[in-house]
Chain A
Amino acid sequence: MNEIKQNSFKTMPDENGRFGIHGGRFVAETLMPLILQVETAYKEVITDPDFNAELLYYQKHYVGRPSPLYFAEHLTKQYGGAKLYLKRDELNHTGAHKINNVLGQALLAKKMGKTKIIAETGAGQHGVATATACALFNLECEVFMGAEDVKRQKPNVDRMRLLGATVHPVTSGTSTLKDAMNEALRYWVAHPDTHFYIIGTVAGPHPYPEMVRNFQSVIGKEAKEQLFEAEGRLPDALIACIGGGSNALGLFYPFLDNTDVTIFGVEAAGQGLDSGMHAASLTGGKPGVLHGNRTYLLQNDDGQIVDAHSISAGLDYPGIGPEHSWLHDVGRVNYVSATDEEALVQFQLCSRLEGIIPALEPSHALAFAAKQLPLMDKEQIVILNMCGRGDKDLETVLPKLDERGLL
């Protein structure tokens, strides 16, 4: 990591969608005109007061924003160090942070006159959020989901179908999230006039990483205000889990220029970084080009993408958003990792101590908090993004907790 002197960490991307060497628009010519249209339309709406008022209306009355910033007294006591605040984005309608971005993009699609929506999904949270927005705005919805994930996440598949979405099981490649994204892009190429592609994370070709970050930044903006109200100051540290990294950037972005705030992004170490069975793109990957952007990727020496592994389907992706890659390169954010096992322990602990069943994804953030908070002073304050609730994970988690005598 080379520390680069930076006047502001909030000026990225440049006009070509670059975050340092990362980002960009590495797509086939058929897609290029489509993403240029999205960029033009997005630039128009972000300065349009009507668009922003409409988004704000739905955030408040439909999603339930602002989400609370909750002082987790019991976990604080348990970890025995800094004060832990949880940003409760798991209380959003549909149970995760995904809806923040989906509503923004769905309203943009409507402005562009699109009537049909495409989305990819791994665990199904982004798929459910997209199906929800489509039901609300009367848009047709087609969700691409790896056939393996369709099997693993049946309740979310049922939810999407009930909400009126068509779920396409993807059997190409390894039948997981990266293949779902390939297939969604292929489908978009074949339906350029009618469809809008709602990408669920801060990845993909420009302008998606920037757009998704901006729609998710509501998390950090609220958290900053709420902590000022509660404690009259900035936090000392932020912690969030990272798959593609949208919940993390949503929390981090408004704090990037508050350089006294230490920031931690937690990748999924799966069965351990040395096992080869993990999803830690920054720690275990190299820069490469996939899904329209340059970023750190899990790949072999020949540049073939290798499978990611994580107990959490939402972190099970061989890449990471390009802005994270840049923040890693310039050293503004510290990227660390937590294993499946560590996440499972916190899943149970948070449920028992706080009465909050966290999703497996933020359980990874908690696993790092469990190590970091004891190293800090009692006067220090940490905000952790509780980005999703764990109901969806019970089928995966319960037998494992049972095996470990944690039930």
Chain B
Amino acid sequence: MSKRLAASFAKAKKENRGVLGIFVSAGDPDTNTSIKILDGLVRSGVDMIELGMPFSDPMADGPAIQAASLRALKSGMNLEGSLEIASQFRKKHPHTPLILMGYYNPIYRYGVELFLKDSQAAGVDGLIIVDLPPEEDAELCDLNQNSELDFIRLITPTTLGDRLPFVLEKASGFIYYVSIAGITGTKSAQMESISSAINRIKQVSNLPVVTGFGIRTAEQAALIASLGDGAIVGSAVVEIIAESNAQNLTAERTSEKVSDFTGSLADAISTHKP
């Protein structure tokens, strides 16, 4: 596990709480605002950042993150720009883990080997590549064997039986439990189903389990984070960016609105006692 991820999970454990991860799209709605939003996230107590690399056809994402991706692309964001944002983030925030999340095609075009090298140079801690299941991941994972980058696996409610250990074979960093069968930002899962899924995962892996998809409120975040090792919130955050953008708010004001919300999530998670 990357040192920053390990430290982040250890700190949360010591404080008897789960970690809070926040997803935003790189360059949404533009590079300057995006960087200010990331700064605000760290200040508001977010433990881990999931930075989306925009793609024209985000198959696993709902309307909110699709729109975020398109806003970013429209502002001229690309893979190189996403890595540049990551690099600037790392210079200012040496301790907060940063995960790059995206789809395979931009990486494939950029060149897998170069992407891995540049991600590490930018200070990225891990990768989530949505459309690179274990059946197809050799072309990236074989090149990533000696790197510091964690390869984070998604487990879903449909990952059952023998498939679970198979999917987790090359997993590192943490396990991302997708709590619903569906796309980001749509329905929410039942607590019991999340709890039993996390127990199932814990039986085959020692990695921390962080839950995402469909978490919209501070209460949900606190409760879900307490079931495993943390919670990731994306669409609800991205919707605030969309709204601020529609109202032409300044980068500072947009960042404030986002961090007000993520601060409330962080508070709820740290005060929640299981």
Taken residue by residue from 288 to 300, chain A's Cβ proximity to chain B (1 for < 8 Å, 0 otherwise) reads as 1111101001010
Complex: how many Å from CA A167 to CA B66?
21
Do B79 and A303 have beta carbons less than 8 Å apart? yes
Chain B residues lying within 8 Å of A289, measured Cβ to Cβ, are 103-105, 108, 131
Do B182 and A29 have beta carbons less than 8 Å apart? no
Q: With A28-B130, A189-B183, A190-B182 as given contacts, are A16 and B135 in contact (CB-CB < 8 Å)?
A: yes
Segment at the A interface, from B40-48, B154-162, B255-263: B154-162
Q: With A24-B136, A186-B60, A186-B183 as given contacts, are A29 and B159 in contact (CB-CB < 8 Å)?
A: yes
Chain A residues lying within 8 Å of B66, measured Cβ to Cβ, are 172-173
Q: Which one, A27, A287, A297, contacts B131 given CB within 8 A?
A: A27
Do B181 and A192 have beta carbons less than 8 Å apart? yes
Taken residue by residue from 54 to 77, chain B's Cβ proximity to chain A (1 for < 8 Å, 0 otherwise) reads as 011111101100100010010000
Complex: how many Å from CA A26 to CA B103?
10
Do A34 and B158 have beta carbons less than 8 Å apart? yes
> Once A and B bind, how many residue pairs between them come within 8 Å at the CB atom?
121
Chain B residues lying within 8 Å of A292, measured Cβ to Cβ, are 131
Taken residue by residue from 279 to 309, chain A's Cβ proximity to chain B (1 for < 8 Å, 0 otherwise) reads as 0000000111111101001010111111000
Do A26 and B132 have beta carbons less than 8 Å apart? yes
Q: Which one, B130, B132, B186, contacts A190 given CB within 8 A?
A: B186
Complex: how many Å from CA A29 to CA B181?
10
Do A30 and B158 have beta carbons less than 8 Å apart? yes
Q: Is A394 an interface residue (CB 8 A)?
A: no
Do A304 and B136 have beta carbons less than 8 Å apart? no
Complex: how many Å from CA A304 to CA B104?
11
> Taking chain A's interface residues, is the majority helix, strand, or loop, or is none over half, making it mixed?
mixed
Do B107 and A32 have beta carbons less than 8 Å apart? no
Do A29 and B155 have beta carbons less than 8 Å apart? yes
Interface residues of B in 11-62 (CB under 8 A from A): 55-60, 62
Q: Is A25 an interface residue (CB 8 A)?
A: yes
Q: Is B253 an interface residue (CB 8 A)?
A: no
Q: With A28-B59, A29-B167, A32-B133 as given contacts, are A303 and B109 in contact (CB-CB < 8 Å)?
A: yes
Chain A residues lying within 8 Å of B132, measured Cβ to Cβ, are 26
Q: Which residue of B lies closest to A304 (CB)?
A: B56
The winner among B63, B132, B135 for most chain A CB atoms within 10 A is B135
Q: With A186-B59, A192-B158, A288-B109 as given contacts, are A26 and B167 in contact (CB-CB < 8 Å)?
A: no
Chain B residues lying within 8 Å of A182, measured Cβ to Cβ, are 57-59
Do A302 and B106 have beta carbons less than 8 Å apart? yes
Do A29 and B110 have beta carbons less than 8 Å apart? no
Do A303 and B133 have beta carbons less than 8 Å apart? no
Chain B residues lying within 8 Å of A304, measured Cβ to Cβ, are 55-56, 73, 78, 106
- Tell me how far the C-beta of A325 lies from the nearest C-beta in chain B, rounded to whole angstroms: 14
Chain B residues lying within 8 Å of A25, measured Cβ to Cβ, are 133, 135-136
Q: With A182-B59, A192-B158 as given contacts, are A303 and B131 in contact (CB-CB < 8 Å)?
A: no
19 A/B residue pairs, CB under 8 Å, sorted by A:
A24-B135, A25-B133, A25-B135, A25-B136, A28-B60, A29-B156, A29-B167, A32-B133, A172-B66, A186-B62, A189-B181, A287-B108, A301-B109, A302-B78, A302-B79, A303-B105, A303-B107, A304-B56, A304-B78
With A189-B183, A302-B79, A303-B107 known, 13 other A-B pairs at CB within 8 A are A16-B135, A24-B136, A28-B154, A29-B133, A30-B157, A30-B181, A32-B133, A32-B163, A33-B163, A179-B57, A186-B183, A190-B183, A291-B59
**Which B residues fall within an 8 A CB radius of A?**
55-60, 62-63, 66, 70, 73, 78-80, 103-110, 130-133, 135-136, 153-160, 163, 167, 178, 180-183, 186-187
